[in-house]
Chain A
Amino acid sequence: MMGRLPAWADVVLIPLMSIIAAFGISALVILYIGENPWEALKLMVDGALGSAYGWGYTLYYATNFMFTGLAVSIAFRASLFNIGGEGQAMLGGLGVAVVALALPWPHWTLALPAAMLGAIVFGAAWAAIPAWLQARRGSHIVITTMMFNFIGAALLNYVLVNILRPAGSMDPATARFPKGAHLPTLHDLPLIGSYFDKNTPANITLFVALAACVAVWYLLFRSRLGYAIRAFGKSESAAVYAGISPFRITMYVMLLSGGLSGMMAINNVMGEAERLVLNAVEGAGFIGIAVALMGRNHPFGVFLAALLFGFLYQGGAELGLWTTIPIELRTVVQALVILFTGALDNMMRMLVERIFALGHRRRAA
């Protein structure tokens, strides 16, 4: 075995090098299509971080990614690869819509907890079926959660077109949520409101996401259930020896994971659109996988990675707006970041380990 790395190298250095490598190759791609990569980077940073408007969007996207990233992480901790975040977030949206439209909500402080509950229940329910199939029937959760994304999309389509669409509307979407279900945007808040633009969608859900990061940390590292989840994830045979039920852990973890994915709908459905449309999730469920990978399945890492991906998402959109660089380049950059932080993580790790081993040998000699 190669020499072990200090914690800071593992947590900071390797992801940082991965990102730099990803940006390096992205720069080559931009050069190839005849644009100036330096200008493009400036534009991205400016667009995502340079204004109250950009900030607002970056944080809005980051909020989505925090939920889906946490959802993937918590399942990963139990060695379950939940790639159904997309579908679970879709269903979460349905839960939010059902709750928001059910009553003429007097105030958001009442509507928010109720909508959260709706999002959690619907998201968790959508994860529960693949979880049960895995735990009882041995159907692989990667396959089933993936398929449930498609089933979820079809189901949502049906419900929007046939049930929730207001009479006379041509649009497969629900009616606008009642005024009382409107969540305050960051601009509406006292003290920090002046830093955010009126027209940005970032809203109070950001704080729910931050609280979720903290709660997941406590759950994983301070609670009995978290202990059992991590034990099961590291070694199923040992977990069985200890009397930890694989069935129960699989169910609990997937319910938690689906619930977290569903919570994303608070942000995009209730906070931004204020009605449920067809493609509300916009791939955030899949980006959650990259966020979890990059964040090392740690809630704090997920928080940082979500910010990075929020930046990429917003900055990439700006690129498409102001240059001849197509907006698809955003996808290229994201894909490269995912490739380097996820798939090529071991390559970077080996490189860093070799460098460290060299340093050790020199010191020893």
Chain B
Amino acid sequence: MQANKDISIRVMPGTIHGIIGENGAGKSTLMSILYGFYRADAGEIFIRGKPTIIHDSQAAIRAGIGMVFQHFKLVQNFTVLENVILGVEEGMLLHPSLARARVALAQLAEEYALEVDPDALIEELSVGQLQRVEILKALYRHAEVLILDEPTGVLTPDEADHLFRILGNLREQGKTIILITHKLREIMEITDTVSVMRRGEMTATVKTSETSPEALAELMVGRKVLLDVTKGPANPGANVLEVENLRVIDADGVERVKGISFAIRAGEIFGIAGVSGNGQSELLKVLGGFQKATGTVRINGQEIDLSGHHSDGQTRRARGIAHVPEDRQHLGLIMDFTAWENLIFGYHNAPEYQSNALLMDNAGIIAEAARKLERFDVRPPSPMLPAKSFSGGNQQKLVLAREIERNPDLLLVGQPTRGVDIGAIEFIHKQIIALRDAGKAVLLVSVELDEILSMSDRIAVMFDGRIMGERDPEKTDQRELGLLMAGVGTEAA
């Protein structure tokens, strides 16, 4: 397959150039070519007008290209300084290199307002600081062009603002920055120029000041997209889920959830915001039946077992809890299974899927799967294809189709649109809201604040295993939620 087709892109020095596109549009392939991970089958790269051949990452570094990956490549038990010189040590002894790096780092920190303690261990740093270390690493290697791949995915809004200030400084000092993202807001906020990719092609390159989010979305998807979620007022009924004083201690003995309480009513979407890793995942696992916990959880007034023999995914499903997990590739789907096999996953013991005591009704299941694929607009709608051959958005639709079609009382949804293309996001949001309007309770966990704000009827913010507070989406904003997400708040519940 061609991941990149005839792409021409011209990045001007001293600018921030955004590259936006859906998953699988070819952004990462393009950047991997620039950084020497892949080789293009045809075409040339010019740096300052000179044709340059980049056959590996060393060549990229020599050409002045630095890369900040989405997943940091740092050695956990090394200090910042040691990480910075890793791979560019000189001479037999470490000390001279470290001393040189210390001076250089101090200079860089001053020049670009990139302050990080050079003697701190990597494992002690926050995510935002780790990212700064990655940037420092690139600058220490004299990078003139800095490529950042989805840099804000793991940051709080505050940390993202800080990153953008750093990027602004770098631009002022004449560095060139290529920012890969799928978030339209970031593109509008910080870039000078933006290139849009779709299906391996560069569909447009425009000045950011001359475009709008709506226009960019249309360029990305190829049709008009509704960016705002439209939903009517909620009609909440009786409590479906009641959680009291829930605590989770994980396998390493770390307390992940530190006594939280909340309730969700029928016909409402309860959103939980927070930076990932603050206990939201564990909460979903407890409710989904594959994490032990203490405390009380009631569904429709009846208590459920949190640690005993009757605490597993099967019994949870029997009680009317459906779960769209955060990690669809490792939890929600079996990637090697076909679509039809995945569409009964977790419900494979249901009597309607059996043709007799011994055998499953495969033919019936496949026929039903075809109808579900149709209803949920999964493309291509062929039940015999393995899950791995669907795009991220269509994989997510497979999971949603399976869970929503069982007509649950409570739907747990984790990161419903992570890695999902804009066109599918709209559809997925509509399905969740339709379930709410049908009088079901929805627990939505997302790290995307926009999503939480536009979807939820009530919002709770989790930080460090606690609920920092509950807000009405009509009466709060990104700023206030961002502060709560960073642990700055008055009312800890």
Contacts and interface: CB of A to CB of B under 8 A. Distances in A.
B383 interface: no
A234 B360 contact: no
Contact of B313 (A223, A230, A235, A242): A242
B382 interface: no
Interface in B322-344: 323, 325, 330-337, 341
Contacts of B315: 243
Interface string A231-273: 1001101101111110000000000000000000000000000
A242 B333 CA distance: 9
A235 B317 CA distance: 20
B323 A241 contact: yes
A241 B288 contact: yes
A224 interface: yes
A227 interface: yes
Contacts of A243: 289-290, 312-317, 346
B313 A241 contact: yes
A218 B356 CA distance: 13
Nearest to A219: B358
Given A227-B341, A227-B360, A241 B331 contact: yes
Contacts of A231: 334, 337, 345, 348
Interface in A215-229: 218, 222-224, 227-228
Contact of B337 (A218, A234, A240, A241): A234
Contacts of B349: 224
A56 to B, nearest CB: 35
Nearest to A225: B358
Contacts of B331: 237-238, 241
B359 interface: yes
Interface residues of A, number: 18
Nearest to B291: A240
B359 A218 contact: yes
A353 to B, nearest CB: 14
A223 B360 contact: yes
B230 interface: no
A234 B316 CA distance: 23
Contacts of A235: 330, 334-335
Contact of A234 (B313, B325, B334, B358): B334
Contacts of B289: 243
Interface string B245-274: 000000000000000000000000000000
A234 B337 CA distance: 8
Nearest to B318: A243
A228 B334 contact: no
Interface string A20-50: 0000000000000000000000000000000
B360 A238 contact: no
Contacts of B359: 218, 222-223
Nearest to B389: A4
B354 interface: yes
User: Interface SS of chain A: helix, strand, loop or mixed?
Assistant: helix
Nearest to A218: B359
Nearest to B331: A241
A15 to B, nearest CB: 20
A297 to B, nearest CB: 13
A35 B362 CA distance: 55
B233 to A, nearest CB: 34
Contacts of B316: 243
A243 B362 CA distance: 21
A242 B345 contact: yes
Nearest to A245: B312
A359 to B, nearest CB: 15
A241 B332 contact: yes
A237 B289 CA distance: 13
Interface in B275-315: 288-290, 312-315
A269 B333 CA distance: 45
Contacts of B333: 238
Interface string B147-169: 00000000000000000000000
A238 B290 contact: no
Interface string B371-392: 0000000000000000000000
Contacts of A241: 288, 290, 313, 323, 325, 331-332, 346
Q: Which of A224, A235, A237, A238 has the most CB of B within 10 A?
A: A238
A230 B341 CA distance: 11
Contacts of B362: 222
Contacts of A224: 348-349, 354, 360
B348 A228 contact: yes
Nearest to A227: B348
B235 to A, nearest CB: 31
B313 A240 contact: yes
Contacts of A218: 358-359
A228 B349 CA distance: 10
Contact of A238 (B332, B348, B358): B332
Nearest to B344: A227
Nearest to A3: B1
B369 to A, nearest CB: 14
A83 B346 CA distance: 30
Contacts of A223: 358-360
Contacts of A238: 330-334, 345
A97 B201 CA distance: 71
A230 B333 CA distance: 13
Given A243-B312, A243-B315, A243-B317, A234 B290 contact: no
Contacts of B313: 240-244
B357 to A, nearest CB: 10
Nearest to A228: B348
Interface in A146-186: none
A340 B300 CA distance: 59
Interface string B349-365: 10000100011101000
A235 B349 CA distance: 18
Contacts of B325: 241
B345 A222 contact: no
Nearest to B317: A243
A27 B261 CA distance: 74
Contacts of B334: 231, 234-235, 238
Nearest to B312: A243
B399 to A, nearest CB: 10
B334 to A, nearest CB: 5
Contacts of B337: 230-231, 234
A361 to B, nearest CB: 10
A230 B348 CA distance: 12
Contacts of A245: 312
A111 B126 CA distance: 71
A20 to B, nearest CB: 29
A279 to B, nearest CB: 38
Nearest to B358: A223
B290 A240 contact: yes
Given A227-B348, A238-B334, A241-B290, 11 more contacts: A222-B359, A227-B360, A230-B337, A231-B337, A234-B335, A238-B332, A241-B288, A241-B313, A242-B314, A243-B290, A243-B314
| Among all A-B residue pairs, the 6 with the closest Cβ atoms | A243-B313, A243-B314, A242-B346, A241-B331, A243-B312, A222-B359
Interface of A: 218, 222-224, 227-228, 230-231, 234-235, 237-238, 240-245
12 contacts: A218-B358, A228-B348, A231-B348, A235-B330, A235-B335, A238-B330, A240-B313, A241-B325, A241-B346, A242-B345, A243-B290, A245-B312
